[in-house]
Amino acid sequence: MNPALKRDGYSVAALRRMAQKRLPRPIFDFIDGGAEDEDTVRQNESAFQGWDVLPKPLNGAAQRDLSATIFGQALRSPLLIGPTGLAGLFWPQGEIASAKAAAAQGTVYCLSHGSVCTMEQLAQSHTGLKWMQVFIYKDRAFTRELATRAHDSGYDALVLTIDNQMIGKRERDLVNGFTIPPRFDLPQMLAFAQKPGWWWSMRHELAKITFGNYVQSNTPESVAALAARMGALLDPGMSWQDVDMLRAHWKGRLILKGVLHPHEASEALQHGIDAIIVSNHGGRQLNGAMASARALPAIVQAVNGAVPVLLDGGVRRGSDVFKALALGATAVLLGRPHLWGLSVAGQEGVEWVLDLLNVELDRVMGLAGAKNIQAIRDGDYLRPKSYSGPHASP
């Protein structure tokens, strides 16, 4: 076991600090930062503080079962790993390391469209549950092509992300001169040289950093050209007709990610969507967007159990997971936390994050009196901070 994890990795916040020490500032800020003033980033985390847990210890939860099910697939717990671009920039073969960690922990790994490896490469090394992220592109044929490749590679579900139709203004990246892809100019190289541990582990990898799923073997492009093509493909004019197009093309599970409005959640049911991910892209797109946890209850009410509802954004503690489940979520996705673990110790670091949050969730369940995940959803365990009813203190 990595001794630093055992000594210092006692919380997700601690792992964030460890990642900050190991990574060059431009790379760390790429993970950590959000759009403009980063209000939504902060709100995603603080939103969970808007609810108090009302324990019922006499329920007798001596044994707790954290297992969850989605699409009939049994998971060790309701913690999944969400799509995060360029994970291979934080650790060698970062996407593959993260996917192996997810498989070892009995959960789902969702590959980002902007991964360093290709979806085929990940599928060859990862036999566990895997989902693939796609967008609606101006070139609709390319959207269908990615879906076909995901099908041929054995992905279990397609995650259509709808809140990345334009790139958010990420000011930390502007200050650092960080671009997608990274420029390896003198200022960047000086920043990299200040973190010799990361530099040494990545010394053979940096030249390989690319957007694997966009590389065309018949027309080789530089990484900069790939990034420009990716940006040009994004389409703010996408509509429900495009969702219908993808639904007709993709016969597997289709998940809609980036939903915050309950009307959009209701509409999704009319277009054959199999699950909804309540998300604001980790606060990296629209600064001022509603926090995911605040948006969750209305989305759950809108779909009324017709499809699973997952939460993405701001989960930092097992108590956050508990609250999300109590608010009706089927499961939660991890973004930044798994990247912090990856940055510190690769696959072992990602497994550590999952273990850490599962242990915290188990403890909250024991203290609250919840024997299993369904009991959390059914147990009436939450009250808003402003609650002044019969359970309030005098």
pLDDT tens profile 243-299: 999 999 999 999 999 999 999 999 999 999 999 999 999 999 999 999 999 999 999
Q: Assess whether pLDDT exceeds 50 at residue 394.
A: no
Partners of 311 in beta bridges: 278, 332
As a residue count, the chain comes to: 394
Mean pLDDT of the chain: 94
Nearest to 249 by CA among 147, 160, 159, 156: 147
**Domains of the chain, each with CATH number or no CATH:** 3-283+312-383 (3.20.20.70)
Per residue in 56-93, pLDDT tens? 999 999 999 999 999 999 999 999 999 999 999 999 99
Looking at per-residue pLDDT, the higher value among 281 and 388 belongs to 281
How far is residue 98's CA from residue 347's CA, in Å, rounded to a whole number?
A: 6
Q: Pick the residue with more confidence: 231 or 241?
A: 241
- Can you give the pTM of this predicted structure? 0.95
CB pairs under 8 A, 24+ apart, for 376-382?
376/322, 376/325, 376/326, 377/325, 377/326, 377/328, 379/56, 379/59, 379/326, 380/54, 381/53, 381/54, 381/55, 381/56, 381/322, 381/326, 382/51, 382/52, 382/53, 382/54, 382/323, 382/326, 382/327
Give me the pLDDT at residue 393, please: 46
> Tokens 């699950």 map to which residue?
275
pLDDT at 305: 97
Could you give the C-alpha distances from 274 to 46, 153, 289, 305, in angstroms and in order?
Answer: 29, 20, 24, 11
pLDDT, tens digit, for every residue of 172-198?
999 988 876 666 677 778 888 899 999
Annotated catalytic residues are: 281
Residue bearing the bigger pLDDT, 232 or 346: 346
- The pLDDT, as a whole number, for residue 1 is 82
| CA–CA distance, 370 with 250 (Å, rounded to integer) | 38
User: How does residue 223 score in pLDDT terms, banded at 50, 70 and 90?
Assistant: low
The more confidently predicted of residues 161 and 189 is 161
